[in-house]
Amino acid sequence: MMSSSFNIFRVGISFVMMCIFYKSAVDSLSELSPQKYFSTLQPGKASLAYFCQADSPRTSVFLEELNEAVKPLQDYGISVAKVNCVKEETSRYCGKEKDLVKAYLFRGNILLREFPTDTLFDVNAIVAHVLFALLFNEVKYITTLEDLQNIENALKGKANIAFSYVRAIGTPEHRAVMEAAFVYGTTYQFVLTTETALLESIGTEDIKNAHLYFFHCKQVLDLTEQCRRTLMEPPLTTLNIHRFIKTMEAPLLTEVAEDPQQVSTVHLQLGLPLVFIVSQQATYEADRRTAEWVAWRLLGKAGVLLLLRDSLEVDIPQHANVVFRRAEEGVPVEFLVLHDVDLIISCVESNMHIEEIQEDEDDMESSDMDIQDDEVAETVYRDRKRRLPLELTVELTEETFNATVVASDSIVLFYAGWQAVSMAFLQSYIDLAIKLKGTSNMLLTRVNCADWSDLCTKQNVTEFPVVKMYKEGKSPVSYPGMLGTEDLLKFIQLNRISCPVNITSVQEAEEYLSGELYEDLISYSSVSVLGLFSPNMTTAKEDFTEAGNYLKGCVITGIYSEDDVLILSNKYAATLPALLLARHKEGKIESIPLANSPAQDIVQIITDALLETFPEITVENLPIYLRLQKPLLILFSDGSINPQYKKAILTLVNEKHLDSLTPCWLNLKNTPVGRGVLQAYFDALPPLPLLVVVNLHSGGHVFAFPSDQAITEQNLLLWLKKLEAGLESHITILPAQEWKPPLPAYDFLSMMDAAASQHPTRKDPECTKETDAQENDKKHEDKSAFRKEPIETLRIKHWNRSNLFKGEKSFKHDNKEL
């Protein structure tokens, strides 16, 4: 595995390059004659020479990079030189023109490798290629998963592996890995690949960036057992790899019985925090298992120690079970109460992100970063160096926009490159492009309104980010949903069909209601709506068609008005005109009469029908149920709910006892922020399951169902009657705190043109159709004239996230915390 030659070339190796004569080459690059150069070669050492023709200045850029590489190569005992040829020289390295575009690596007077100079395109490539050639025994290059498995099996019980993926040989990341291998190559087996398929096969979706995994194989004795793997999350730089490997060498878990403020480990020296899991004799074994699990999860990010409370002379608050110590000197330790491993991990990682932002705050360009009301700007700043595969979408300009959207059905994202929410949503938009790659006829495009403000004006874009769908012969449709990949994907997929779709036979209607007709869309719309009308019900059909167009992209709608419509009407006991709602998850079809219902009422009927009777509350759907303006009856559960509890609540729903409430449940495993919500209601996380009533819209009172009573129909109904009579005491009152962004939402185009009117705000329903788009734009005016508008007049649209969960401690709506 690790050859003895590694130690030999550490003593001194030379790298020889033949280079074309360059009169302005800097003094630090040694210039020798051929005879002098070869006389300086020593066993185990080499030099850099290019028997240079005095009249050929073609490689000035290369020589500049080569000069930059002199010092780093010398640090590894590798000398660099340039050899000047004379015209009469006929040796192998001076005689032929084709030999003057290669670099040669020697050890002593033995030629090891030839490199075309175009592969040594910069200092990183030079250092990476040279070290890679010299470390051929210490760094194994592989191309298949089988190669990796063979190396892993061979090293189980013997040594650990540092497995790296880089996009190409000669990149800065490749250099960093090679420099790490030079230092740690005798301790660990380094494995390298540039194959994306190999990276994907070990479970990594992000193939656009370099990665390093540490395979813990040394302690694995069972050949059938897979080596545990730890991913290095920071970018691949020499310093980051060094710090990462040092943490891999540190003990996984250390037991201490001293003041946490006085403890010192290698993690603090590397700038990483410490996490102390507080233990006592009675729970030692369980605490140690928890600490080991936390240590594996935080490996490479923080040091984990088991703090023995019983042996401490320093007082630890009785309620504290976790102590957190930052890496900075003089910062006092924090005593925390965290009853879940995920909360511990989240606490450490969030603190690491905050520290990173504080360290880099001098690089911030916008003062608005200091007053963001959520984590959007922080996330964008933290991911600012992440390279997005923007090539998966088409960037449009003022010149290409009209031709592109006319030539093909297009989705256009209008965003601003300087605005945090836009950049956050751009990541989701690119994720959507990855999902749709090769499967959709819809062209995904984008317009940066910071560069093409005039274009955005003409497309009625008054705030951003905004997504619009353009189809031939139709007005563009604006996407009004949540700024996330899945919601936008649903919008696009449901827009593949007409809305409403015209059903022409009873058989087709039955296939529509059963879900067979649009089986591939059922996952995006669990309810299908079919309007039934007699052929002469012209006004009713027009109203339903208008409502269907309004809801396009939100739900599947269809219309049937043939002469035999009474067959369906009689089968489903529907009085015409009527709606049939096919709930595919429940396998039920119900009818709703539509007598004299205008389009707006039909929209509201369908929107209400889409709501579940007893939904699982998530971050995404909470705003929908809050709009009902009813108190929430929430069943908190750590996993799936007991069927008996669900039956009891649904029975009360069917008997109309819960009409004044919105019954729902929250799974803490699917929505961990629910733990923060409960901790805002109680001093500590209460036993689960737990039933509470939260009255957000009238006083903010929170009531808890008695924990000593079983959740049955009778007990629940009795408790609710006591609530209604004012006989139950609340457990807390949510403060009357307004939910506002730190800066007002601006219509930036109105600010640029004082004569423009304020853009109206649309209310329910969720999906809206843009009818005032300008379809026939005039020729654009000179951009330079428009650019004279001060860019400072552009303002951020603060994304109203429909009052979603806020932070880890609570979530808010209107003027109350939930």
3-state SS string for 515-535: CCCCHHHCCCCCEEEEEECCC
As its CATH architecture, domain 388-491 has: 3-Layer(aba) Sandwich (3.40)
For residue range 559-589, what is the model confidence (pLDDT) as tens digits?
999 999 999 999 999 999 999 999 888 888 9
- Residue bearing tokens 């010092």: 71
- Residue bearing tokens 């003057």: 100
For residue range 782-807, what is the model confidence (pLDDT) as tens digits?
333 333 333 333 333 333 333 333 33
C-alpha–C-alpha distance, residues 733 and 678, integer Å: 13
CA distance readout (Å), 339 to 317, 353, 427, 545, 810: 15, 22, 33, 53, 17
Q: Which of 340-344, 378-382, 719-723, 783-787 has the lowest mean pLDDT?
A: 783-787
The per-residue pLDDT for 51 is 66
The per-residue pLDDT for 558 is 94
The residue type found at 691 is L
Please tell me if the domain spanning 254-344 has the same topology as the one spanning 388-491. Answer: yes
Across residues 545-559, what is the average pLDDT?
91
Contact criterion met (CB below 8 Å) for 422 and 415 = yes
Give the residue among 215, 135, 213, 209 at the shortest CA–CA distance from 179: 135
Structure letter (DSSP) for residue 687: P
Is pTM, for the whole model, over 0.75?
A: no
Both structure tokens of 643: 């069927």
Q: For domain 497-610, is the CATH number 3.30.390.10?
A: no
Confidence of residue 727 (pLDDT cuts 50, 70, 90): very high
**Residue 209: pLDDT over 60:** yes
C-alpha–C-alpha distance, residues 177 and 240, integer Å: 10
Q: For domain 621-733, is the CATH number 3.40.30.10?
A: yes
Confidence of residue 75 (pLDDT cuts 50, 70, 90): confident
What percentage of the chain reaches a pLDDT higher than 70?
Answer: 79
- Residue bearing tokens 């329903």: 765
C-alpha–C-alpha distance, residues 524 and 540, integer Å: 27
C-alpha–C-alpha distance, residues 584 and 514, integer Å: 7
CB neighbour list of residue 119: distance below 8 Å, 6 or more residues apart: 125, 129, 169, 170
Structure letter (DSSP) for residue 739: -
Write down the H helix ranges in 459-561. Answer: 485-494, 506-514, 538-550
| Choice between 602 and 25, residue whose per-residue pLDDT is larger | 602
Write down the H helix ranges in 185-255. Answer: 196-201, 238-249
Handedness of CA 496, 500, 502, 508 (dihedral sign): positive
Burial (CB < 10 A; 0-12, 13-18, 19+), residue 185, is: buried
Strand partners, 410: 443, 470
The alpha carbon of residue 498 and the mean position of all alpha carbons in its chain are separated, in whole angstroms, by 33
* Fold adopted by 30-124: Glutaredoxin (3.40.30)
C-alpha–C-alpha distance, residues 585 and 576, integer Å: 26
Strand partners, 462: none
Number of other residues whose CB lies within 10 A of the CB of residue 317: 11
CATH of range 137-247; options 3.20.20.70, 3.40.30.10, 3.40.50.300, 3.90.550.10: 3.40.30.10
Give the residue among 363, 278, 356, 293 at the shortest CA–CA distance from 324: 278
- Strands across the sheet with 110-116, in order? 16-17, 102-107, 110-116
Handedness of CA 198, 489, 465, 446 (dihedral sign): positive
Q: Strands of 117-207 (E only): list them.
A: 139-141, 161-165, 189-193
CB neighbour list of residue 291: distance below 8 Å, 6 or more residues apart: 253, 277, 279, 304, 305, 306
Cis previous bond, 741, omega within 30: no
Domain ranges for the chain: 30-124, 137-247, 254-344, 388-491, 497-610, 621-733
Give the residue among 741, 747, 744 at the shortest CA–CA distance from 376: 741
For residue range 485-540, what is the model confidence (pLDDT) as tens digits?
888 999 998 988 888 999 999 999 999 999 989 988 888 888 999 999 999 999 99
Structure letter (DSSP) for residue 230: E
Both structure tokens of 481: 């949903």
Q: For the chain, how many residues are written? A: 818
CATH of range 254-344; options 1.10.540.10, 3.30.300.30, 3.40.30.10, 3.10.129.10: 3.40.30.10
Q: What angle do CA 437, 439, 441 make, to 5 degrees?
A: 100
Maximum CA pair distance of the chain? 110
